[in-house]
Chains A and B, each alone.
Chain A
Amino acid sequence: MITHLPILQVVIPLMAAPICLILKRPQLAWIFALAVSGLAFAISLVLLQQVMVSGVISYELGGWQAPWGIEYRIDQLNALMLLIISTISTIVLFAAPESLDKEISKDKHTYFYVLYLLSLTGMLGIVATGDAFNVFVFLEITSLSAYALIAMGKKKQAVWASFQYLVMGTIGATFILIGIGLMYQMTGTLNMQDLAQRLPEVSQTRTVFTAFAFVIVGVCLKLAMFPLHLWLPNAYAYAPSIVTAFFSATSTKVAIYLLIRFTFSVFGLSFSFTTVPLQTLFMTLGVLGIFVASISAIYQHNIKHLFAYSSIAQIGYMIVGFSISSVSGLTATLLHLFNHALMKSAIFLALAAVAYRVGNVQLDNLKGLGREMPWTMAAIVIGGLSLIGVPLTVGFVSKWYLLTALIEQGWWPIAVLILLGSMLAVIYVWKVVEIAYFKESSGAPVKEAPLSFLIPIWTLVIANVYFGIDTRFSVEIAQAAAQSLFGGGL
């Protein structure tokens, strides 16, 4: 049983999705989905523990030996990603039934859970697999379910947002597929580890360059890197609140995982950063992304838009850390990946609670909520402080690592820019705080969110503070993962 965990991690939610359909009743489907997600969480914990103790786990699907068969491969990086995805998915699901009641018509609830599980499957699959084509398959599973989930949003714009995402996402996926196809043509293999060994022989060919370009652009579309981010704000803003909370913490993170995996493991460090000038390009785009997105965030009137832009800015930080291409830079990126998942899921889940009570998440609707929904707003404030990077929150830890990584390379100007970027975060976070705490509410007073919201929200908030104080767990894994990526091989 234990040896089959890598595949069970993916297959259980996959099989569970149609079962949800059979269960029919939303309540049952919810409990079932929650159980499955919890099981995925447990599996990912065990996997992580195994990887940390005994190193990389390789699992041959159907007993076919790699590179002929499909290989599932779990190293520190994968294990960390699996854990992030399954944890957030489980925590967010707790609040789902209440939130869905207000946002999606009753007869669609069961479908929601089906799609949710499929999307979870896809993400877990992308991370767990060691096969390039498999990545594409799971990417499509995630994307297709995501389009449907976003389109379920209450407002009319949701359909349009979903369509935008569909167009961009399909282009991205197609690019990735073209890239993988070109690689296959040159090397005759799809197994990532095998690719990593064979690509250097042909690395000077134009085909490989083209493959690299297609894969990177495709992945960057998926991760909403500036300037390919245009689909994200609307998708986040109009999707059902629960979906936003789940995706904000996971979907772009998975794309960043792919970026790291392809550049560091498949194409290799020397090709990605020496042969191709990826460093300058990504550094520039990362910093630009931080500024453009943060400034856009300041001017938003819809809070979900505001924090969606903030997500793009935070992706900028991860890209900057990635582009340093040193162990400490990559550690910073991975840490921020973990930390940002905690911050954003907390914030968006709190916004789901606001939407539940107020029905709307325009800035003006927040008036007086500091008094009326103290716990929910406090969660947003703490999440916001974490975004700014105040000490004793997770945001500080990742910022610290990013700064040290930059200074290590002597890139002072970038370090200053990064810090200035967090000042912009102060502005947009405080915009929310001022409205919530200083404006008198205009409409009828609302009650504090129900416990089914507050418990998951505060679990995440406490995690935000806990991992900001006790950093052993996150730093250790991030460092181990970064080192293994630099140690060569998968």
Chain B
Amino acid sequence: MNLSLEVMLQLSIVLPILSIFAIIAAGRYPNLREGVTITTCLILICFVSNLYQGLLSGETISAFWWELLPGLTISFDIEPLGMLFALIASFLWLVTTCYAIGYMRSHEEKNQTRFYVCFAVAIGAVMGLAFSANLFTLFVFYEVLTLSTYPLVTHAGTEKAKQGGRIYLGILLTTSIVFFLLAIVSTWFVAGTLDFKLGGIFADDVNPLITGTLLVLFIFGIGKAAIMPFHRWLPAAMVAPTPVSSLLHAVAVVKAGVFTVLKVCVFIFGLDLLAVLPTTQFLLYLAGASVLIASIVAMRQDNLKARLAYSTVSQLGYITIGALLATSSGVIGSSMHIAMHAFGKITLFFCAGAILVTLHKSKISEMAGIGRQMPITMAAFFIASLSIIGVPPTGGTWSKWYLMMGALEADQFAIMMILMASSLLNIAYLLPIPFHAFFPNLISFKQENQIPSSTGTSINTMSGLQIKEAPWPSLIAIVVTTLGCLTLFVYPQPLFELASAVLTGRG
């Protein structure tokens, strides 16, 4: 194919959305339908990696669609941060689709065609968001993403799903319209432009009180970044089928949030301005509180997906902190953490889903001993947990390293303490799960074992030791993302280069 990079940029947004027609047309033949999705994924990855090559060779890739209102355009421009996000999202879409094929079929979910359609729209929106050249374009795709994921969250159609969907849509739409839109209109009014520009778009003589308020509006308004107290939608969205939780609520939607935060901090305010704003410190502490409280809440969750959801809230706080630190290491750490956390968390969700479809367990207290039945899954869970905690040999090490450096550079010792404390909490709420899975007779479960075996059936030591892993497409997905976590430790170079190019402009 001899497509120019500009065309590829636009196709990478349009293609997933066009693919819905094919998906609908093939709706009656599941194999064909999934074939269409996978083909789209592959073409998308091909486009995005070509764009990546183009960016590396220093080309300017941009596209202009139309002018919605005078001065407000829908236009796209590739820069390293967006590239990084697009790479992760498109790659993980493929992996998730693979996983979803196994999951959705063995779980016998209804309305699978609608599921794949909404999924494709959501990915198209993520691509548009990642490549947007101005805040306005970003906002448009941000809202498209919210709306297209609503049917996914409420997929089950039950009363509980409806409730979850209400909270999901309520918080995301409220924050985005009341705060985010107001911030955008005000920025437009104060700065006269909404284009992303390295170093910020505000003139020097703008009253810091105004820009300070705007920053608060932005951080509150980007509800997808799930800063407390606007985090409730994320646990609520866990009623969705697991593939949705894994791709959308560990990667696409939440990362769209923190990606927007980073974009706003770096390209609307600029680090220099950000560092002197009167409200930055307040927001840092807010994000810090969010990190700590979410970790503590996570410890108390018995439902595995809920625990992972709160863990995500906490980890998103890291990324917001990194952006607000307004130092180069902080931004590099945040950008890298987008990738590292994505791989780690998607693996954890995959594992949670695998446990659900094969053993029909969703509570952590029931999971003791399952390591013998699902060794691969639980090993993957262990490795991904390490990545979230941030210890070698996993990718999470690097991003946490840079985030710490960023905190040091900015002389934010309190923030540094919070980051370290939270890492300890991560250990406390993640590691016991694989531990009990492999060694059910140790530690706390001893007491339960002393109870006569009639009630002890929830522990799987006696329920046969044959291996019973998830369906193979799902298993492949788990292995791929786990290997991703490990590879990113050994070979973080390309990622690091992209992340550090964020602050210097072109790759």
A residues adjacent to B (C-beta < 8 A)? 385, 388-392, 397, 399-401, 403-404, 407-408, 415-416, 419-420, 422-423, 426, 430, 434, 438, 469-471, 475
Q: Which residues of B contact A470 (CB under 8 A)?
A: 66
Asked if B162 is at the interface (CB within 8 A of a chain A CB), the reply is yes
Whole-angstrom distance between the alpha carbons of A419 and B221 in the complex? 12
Q: How far is the CA of A423 from the CA of B70 in the complex (A)?
A: 26
10 A-B pairs with least C-beta separation: A391-B140, A403-B185, A419-B178, A407-B189, A438-B162, A391-B143, A423-B174, A426-B173, A390-B143, A471-B69
On whether the beta carbons of B139 and A438 are closer than 8 Å, the reply is: no
A416-B178 CB under 8 A given contacts A404-B189, A407-B186, A426-B169: yes
- Whether A438 contacts B169 by the Cβ 8 Å rule is no
- Given A390-B147, A392-B140, A438-B154, decide whether A423 and B66 contact each other with a Cβ distance below 8 A: no
For window 149-163 of chain B, which residues contact chain A by CB distance below 8 Å? 154, 157, 161-162
Q: Which residues of A have CB within 8 Å of B178?
A: 416, 419-420, 423
A401–B71 Cα distance when bound, in Å, is 13
The contact sample of 29 A-B pairs, CB cut-off 8 A, is A390-B143, A391-B139, A391-B140, A391-B143, A392-B140, A399-B181, A400-B69, A401-B69, A403-B185, A404-B188, A407-B186, A415-B185, A419-B178, A419-B182, A423-B177, A423-B178, A426-B169, A426-B170, A426-B173, A426-B174, A426-B177, A430-B166, A434-B166, A438-B154, A438-B161, A438-B162, A469-B66, A471-B68, A471-B69
| A130 CB, min distance to chain B CBs, angstroms | 31
Distance (whole angstroms) from the CB of A174 to the closest CB of chain B: 42
Contact of A419 among B68, B154, B169, B177 (CB under 8 A): B177
Q: Are B182 and A415 in touch, CB under 8 angstroms?
A: yes
User: Which residues of the partner chain A approach B188 to less than 8 Å between Cβ atoms?
Assistant: 404
Contacts of A397 in B (CB 8 A): 68-69
Contacts of B182 in A (CB 8 A): 403, 415-416, 419
- Contact call A407/B185, Cβ cutoff below 8 A: yes
B68 CB contacts on chain A under 8 angstroms? 397, 469, 471
- Is B181 a contact partner of A419 (Cβ separation < 8 A)? yes
Chain B positions within 8 Å of A, measured between CB atoms, are 66, 68-70, 139-140, 143-144, 147, 154, 157, 161-162, 166, 169-170, 173-174, 177-178, 181-182, 185-186, 188-189
Which residues of the partner chain B approach A399 to less than 8 Å between Cβ atoms? Answer: 181
Q: CA–CA, A419 to B157, complex, Å?
A: 30
Contacts of A400 in B (CB 8 A): 69, 185
Interface centre among A390, A397, A470 (most CB of B within 10 A): A390
Q: Which residues of B contact A390 (CB under 8 A)?
A: 143, 147
Taken together as a complex, chains A and B put the C-alpha atoms of A397 and B185 apart, in Å, by: 12
CA distance A403 to B72 in the complex (A): 15
CB neighbours of B154 from chain A (8 A): 438
Cα–Cα, bound, A389→B154 (Å) = 22
Q: How far is the CA of A385 from the CA of B140 in the complex (A)?
A: 13
Instruction: Determine the chain A residues whose CB is within 8 A of the CB of B186 once the complex forms.
Output: 407
Q: In the complex, what distance in Å separates the CA atom of A422 from the CA atom of B178?
A: 8
What is the interface of chain A mostly: helix, strand, loop, or mixed?
A: helix
Q: Which residues of A contact B140 (CB under 8 A)?
A: 391-392
Closest to B188 in A: A404
Q: What's the dominant secondary structure at chain B's contact region? A: helix
Please determine whether B70 and A475 come into contact, CB atoms closer than 8 angstroms: yes
Q: Shortest Cβ distance from B128 into chain A, in angstroms? A: 11
Q: In angstroms, how far is the closest chain B Cβ from the Cβ of A40?
A: 30
Taken together as a complex, chains A and B put the C-alpha atoms of A415 and B186 apart, in Å, by 10
Residues of A within 8 A of B185 (CB): 400, 403-404, 407, 415
**In the complex, how many angstroms separate the beta carbon of B207 from the nearest chain A beta carbon?**
12
Closest residue of chain A to B154, judged by CB?
A438
Q: Which residues of A contact B144 (CB under 8 A)?
A: 391-392
Q: How far, in angstroms, from A179 to B41 measured CA to CA in the complex?
A: 68
What's the Cα separation between A469 and B136 when bound, in Å?
Answer: 13
Chain B residues near A469: list those with CB within 8 A: 66, 68
Residues in A whose Cβ lies below 8 Å from that of B69: 397, 400-401, 471, 475
CA distance A288 to B180 in the complex (A): 24
A333 smallest CB distance to B (angstroms): 16
A residues in contact with B169, CB < 8 Å:
426, 430
Q: Which residues of B contact A403 (CB under 8 A)?
A: 181-182, 185
Whether the Cβ atoms of A385 and B177 lie closer than 8 Å is no
- Kindly state the separation between the CA atoms of A98 and B143 in the bound complex, as whole angstroms: 37
Nearest CB on B from A450, distance (A)? 23
Contacts A415-B182, A430-B169 known; list 11 others, CB within 8 Å.
Answer: A399-B181, A415-B185, A419-B178, A419-B181, A423-B177, A426-B177, A430-B166, A470-B66, A471-B68, A475-B69, A475-B70
Residues in A whose Cβ lies below 8 Å from that of B66:
469-470
Task: Tell me the bound Cα distance from A415 to B69 in angstroms.
Answer: 19
How many angstroms between the C-alpha atoms of A400 and B189 in the bound complex? 11
CA distance A391 to B170 in the complex (A): 17
- In contact, A408 and B147 (Cβ under 8 angstroms): no
Return chain A residues, CB-CB under 8 Å to B173.
Answer: 388, 423, 426
Give the shortest distance, in Å, between A441 (CB) and chain B (any CB): 13
Nearest chain B CB to A295 CB, angstrom units: 16
Closest A residue to B170 by CB, please name it.
Answer: A426
A432 CB → nearest B CB, Å: 13
Complex contacts, A407 vs chain B, CB 8 Å: 185-186, 189
Q: Provide the bound-state CA to CA distance between A135 and B189, in Å.
A: 40
A319 to B174, CA, bound (A): 23
User: A408 to chain B: which residues have CB within 8 Å?
Assistant: 189
- Rounded to whole angstroms, the CA-CA distance of A388 and B140 in the bound complex is 14
A390 CA to B144 CA, complexed, in Å: 9
Q: Which of B139, B173, B185, B188 has the most CB of A within 10 A?
A: B185
Give CA–CA (A420, B157) in the complex, Å: 28
A residues in contact with B147, CB < 8 Å: 385, 390
Inside 8 A of B189's CB, which chain A residues have their CB?
Answer: 404, 407-408
* CA distance in complex: A136, B56 (Å): 70
Cα separation A415 to B217 with both chains bound (whole Å): 13
- Cβ distance B102 to chain A, nearest Cβ, rounded Å: 28
Report A373 CB to chain B, min CB distance, Å: 17
Give the chain B neighbours of A391 by CB distance below 8 A.
139-140, 143-144
Distance in Å from the Cβ of B287 to the closest Cβ of chain A? Answer: 23
Give the chain B neighbours of A423 by CB distance below 8 A. Answer: 173-174, 177-178
Contacting residues, chain B, for A389 (C-beta < 8 A): 177
Complex alpha-carbon distance, A358 and B143, angstroms? 33
Question: Considering the chains assembled together, what is the distance between the CA atoms of A112 and B471 in angstroms?
Answer: 64
